[in-house]
Chain A
Amino acid sequence: MALFVAGLSHRNAPVELREQLAVDEDKLRELLGDIAAAGVVREAIILSTCNRVEVYAVADVPGEARATTFRQLCRHRGVEPASVEAVLYTYAEGDAVRHAFRVASSLDSMVIGEPQILGQVKDAFALAQSCEAVGPALHSLFTQAFAVAKKVRTETEIARHAVSVSFAAVELAKKIFGGLEGKAVLLVGAGKMSELAARHLVEQGVFPVYVTNRTWARAQEMARALSGTAVPFDELSTALAAVDIVITSTAAPEPVIRREMVQRVMHGRRGRALFFIDIAVPRDVEGAVDSLDGVYCYDIDDLKQVVDANIRERVREAHRAEALIDREVAKFLAKQGDVEVIPTIVSLRERLEAIRTGEVKRTLARLPGATPETREAIEALSTAIVNKILHAPITKLRESSRAGSPRSWLELVHELFGLTRR
């Protein structure tokens, strides 16, 4: 009986193939049913997202199980098996455990640390459970994978830094102002991206929201959408004085925010910082504004640069996460290994204990005059001998299971001590 995972992902398979193979929920149920009917796997979970299609399974003959499973999958999706076979990867036992942990922790994702994958793995697990395809092995593997994913998220900064431009803007605002509660934002011009950034800011406690636009109706519309206040465009500099964050995204060919304007505004602010997020191309904020004291101005390229740095940061954190996963895999295998050898250890103990009690009984029957002290001494002596004999084989079994190869030792112990298989 062996655990394996086989599949393809964004790492090696082109998107055309991935979308051909992606399976929706109903099809997944059907597929799990067909695989179960084929009788080659004991347990199976299929994970199908836009970035990967993977089968986690426990089978007696993994090679056969893998082949059958993917033949079924290809048949279901009408894909040529050869094209899949070429990009299919397979991991067995410890490597499969590691892969499951890495996938759930978003270390194998296209954007490292993205939060969706854990939910998708949980869904796949729940679906397989509802199809009764999950047994004890996959159950313990996946519940542990969820725990590891949570640990990776809390103990490393893998998901901490923003990897989208709009979130990067929020992160920068926090680096300038600390908490964002009660900071005011002004949107100059309308646009999907500025609206998105504004929403992120509002979620962080930014209030109030002002909106201005050359077209008054558009300003009002956007203000309604964001529960903000529309401000006439010619009162732009007054509005600047009242806010902390400005998001600009007009279609104007010339900068709408000039250095002189900001300089005047800054005089009245008594050093309060002003943060411009300029998403417009061409830029809305004059480049020279940046050099003013207390003014920070990020255009779209600057924000992308921050995103790039954050991605590098995530990669760096991913190395720490890998180390954490190495430890978790070792722990998991040790526990699993123990689970595997425990029945043998128990029956070994039972067997020797049976021999011991039988022999003690016979001996005592032949010693009718034995004092309680003598009886006690015989009990203690026999127990000590049994424990001494058991010590070495039990230790060896535990060690071998931790090393990942208990099978031959298990058989040997069964043979040597005449244990019956359960």
Chain B
Amino acid sequence: MHQTLLTVAIIGYVAATGLALAYLVQREELLHRLAALATLTAWVLHTVALLTLAIDLGRPPLASMPEAVSVSVWVVVLLEMWIERRYGLSVLGAFVLPVALVFSLQSTPTRSLIGPTLSGAWLWVHIGLALVGIAALVLNFAGAVMYLLQEHQLRTKRPGTFYYSLPALATLDRLTYRTLAFGFPFLTTGLILGVLWAGTAWGSVFTFDPLALSSYVAWAVYAATLAGRAAGGWHGRRAAYFALVGFAVLMLTLGAGLFLPGKHGG
């Protein structure tokens, strides 16, 4: 049941992504409305799919990487819809949905769950918090990409599609800052819980696990960006580049979880 729903939801995300990209280029209001409608519909189906799965499993659908990634896509789309309405950022979908789509295609195969070593309520909290953090950082990435595109347009002084369709630099800079400020505490708490849990469950914090190690690096990059912004007055381009680097490491982290052998994936 949930598999069918999930497939339909992904088809909905594909449609939404196509419409959002078409809107970015055409700037036809109708395309935006259709994209928003497709996004909402797919997200509702996704919600039902996740609930059905949780009921079938009798636990939160967070025990395997594909499950966790699917939930993070769900959070990403939720945040995307909220920010789009809140800030009137109608082109946001064109930058967020493709990422969400790549994620959800990754998460479709039902890989075997790693059951035995997983237990304890706060494990769910660890995964859940990390996922919300990651979702916010997807938005952070989208904001940074938009910022760099708009900044490039303004520097080359040849207005093109992005000049007309993207919002002001200040708006985009605020978006990257706020998504980072929102996501970072979640990521941090999630990581701390993970470290504590690893200490008790695996016997050592420094057990070789690709996902864990890679996530420390990602955390460090984001921590540096946040510190730079708060204390060093970093702005604009530099902050945007750091957001790209942080996101790249974050993707490595997820890739490690999905494809490399380790205590997280399987």
A: residues with CB less than 8 A from B are 155, 157, 161, 172, 174-179, 270-273, 290, 293-294, 296, 298, 302, 305-306, 309-310, 313, 320
Expressed in whole angstroms, the minimum distance between the Cβ of B211 and any Cβ of chain A is: 34
Q: Which residues does chain B contribute within 8 Å of A155, judged by CB atoms? A: 29
B159 within 8 A of A: yes
B: residues with CB less than 8 A from A are 27-29, 150, 154-155, 157-160, 163-164, 167-171, 233-238
Known contacts A270-B235, A293-B236; A302 and B168 CB within 8 A of each other: no
Most chain B beta carbons < 10 A, residue from A175, A178, A296, A310:
A175
Expressed in whole angstroms, the minimum distance between the Cβ of B33 and any Cβ of chain A is: 13
Name the residue of chain A whose CB is nearest to the CB of B171. A178
CA gap between A179 and B171 in the complex, in Å: 9
Expressed in whole angstroms, the minimum distance between the Cβ of A259 and any Cβ of chain B is: 16
State the 4 A-B residue pairs at the shortest beta-carbon distance, nearest first. Answer: A271-B235, A270-B233, A178-B168, A178-B170
| Contact status B155-A175, CB under 8 Å | no
Known contacts A271-B233, A273-B236; A177 and B170 CB within 8 A of each other: yes
CA gap between A154 and B234 in the complex, in Å: 39
| Contact status A296-B237, CB under 8 Å | no
* Extra pairs beyond A157-B27, A178-B169, A309-B163 (16, CB < 8 Å): A161-B164, A172-B154, A175-B168, A175-B169, A176-B154, A177-B168, A177-B169, A177-B170, A178-B170, A271-B233, A273-B236, A298-B157, A305-B157, A305-B159, A306-B159, A309-B158
Known contacts A176-B168, A178-B168; A293 and B158 CB within 8 A of each other: no
Q: Which residues does chain B contribute within 8 Å of A309, judged by CB atoms? A: 158-160, 163
| Contact status A296-B235, CB under 8 Å | no
Expressed in whole angstroms, the minimum distance between the Cβ of B26 and any Cβ of chain A is: 9
| Contact status A296-B155, CB under 8 Å | yes
Known contacts A155-B29, A273-B169; A175 and B154 CB within 8 A of each other: yes
| Contact status A271-B234, CB under 8 Å | yes
CA gap between A231 and B157 in the complex, in Å: 30
CA gap between A298 and B28 in the complex, in Å: 30
| Contact status B235-A294, CB under 8 Å | yes
CA gap between A290 and B167 in the complex, in Å: 22
A–B Cβ pairs within 8 angstroms, 9 of them: A174-B168, A177-B169, A179-B170, A270-B235, A305-B159, A309-B158, A309-B159, A309-B163, A310-B159
CA gap between A157 and B28 in the complex, in Å: 10
Name the residue of chain A whose CB is nearest to the CB of B168. A178
Task: Choose among A175, A271, A293, A294 the residue that contacts B163 (Cβ–Cβ < 8 A).
Answer: A175
Q: Which residues does chain B contribute within 8 Å of A305, judged by CB atoms? A: 157-159
CA gap between A278 and B205 in the complex, in Å: 58
Q: Which residues does chain A contribute within 8 Å of B158, judged by CB atoms? A: 305, 309
Q: Which residues does chain B contribute within 8 Å of A179, judged by CB atoms? A: 170
Q: Which residues does chain B contribute within 8 Å of A320, judged by CB atoms? A: 28
Expressed in whole angstroms, the minimum distance between the Cβ of B27 and any Cβ of chain A is: 7
Q: Which residues does chain A contribute within 8 Å of B27, judged by CB atoms? A: 157
CA gap between A172 and B158 in the complex, in Å: 12
Expressed in whole angstroms, the minimum distance between the Cβ of A320 and any Cβ of chain B is: 8
Q: Which residues does chain B contribute within 8 Å of A175, judged by CB atoms? A: 150, 154, 163, 168-169
Q: Which residues does chain B contribute within 8 Å of A177, judged by CB atoms? A: 168-170
| Contact status A272-B29, CB under 8 Å | no
CA gap between A272 and B168 in the complex, in Å: 14
| Contact status B169-A313, CB under 8 Å | no
Q: Which residues does chain B contribute within 8 Å of A270, judged by CB atoms? A: 233, 235
Known contacts A175-B150, A175-B169, A271-B235; A313 and B164 CB within 8 A of each other: yes
Task: Choose among B150, B169, B171, B238 the residue that contacts A293 (Cβ–Cβ < 8 A).
Answer: B238
Q: Which residues does chain A contribute within 8 Å of B150, judged by CB atoms? A: 175
Most chain B beta carbons < 10 A, residue from A178, A179, A293:
A178
| Contact status B237-A293, CB under 8 Å | yes
Task: Choose among A178, A298, A306 the residue that contacts B167 (Cβ–Cβ < 8 A).
Answer: A178
Expressed in whole angstroms, the minimum distance between the Cβ of B178 and any Cβ of chain A is: 14
CA gap between A176 and B155 in the complex, in Å: 11
CA gap between A130 and B236 in the complex, in Å: 59
Name the residue of chain B whose CB is nearest to the CB of A291. B155
CA gap between A270 and B28 in the complex, in Å: 38
CA gap between A148 and B167 in the complex, in Å: 28
CA gap between A294 and B147 in the complex, in Å: 12
| Contact status A294-B154, CB under 8 Å | no
CA gap between A20 and B235 in the complex, in Å: 59
| Contact status A176-B169, CB under 8 Å | yes
Expressed in whole angstroms, the minimum distance between the Cβ of A275 and any Cβ of chain B is: 9
Q: Which residues does chain A contribute within 8 Å of B157, judged by CB atoms? A: 298, 302, 305-306
Q: Which residues does chain A contribute within 8 Å of B238, judged by CB atoms? A: 271, 293
Q: Which residues does chain A contribute within 8 Å of B164, judged by CB atoms? A: 157, 161, 313
Q: Which residues does chain B contribute within 8 Å of A296, judged by CB atoms? A: 154-155
Expressed in whole angstroms, the minimum distance between the Cβ of A294 and any Cβ of chain B is: 6
| Contact status B236-A294, CB under 8 Å | yes
Name the residue of chain A whose CB is nearest to the CB of B27. A157
CA gap between A82 and B168 in the complex, in Å: 55
| Contact status A271-B170, CB under 8 Å | no
CA gap between A375 and B28 in the complex, in Å: 61
Expressed in whole angstroms, the minimum distance between the Cβ of B144 and any Cβ of chain A is: 15
CA gap between A293 and B240 in the complex, in Å: 13
CA gap between A174 and B159 in the complex, in Å: 14
CA gap between A305 and B160 in the complex, in Å: 11
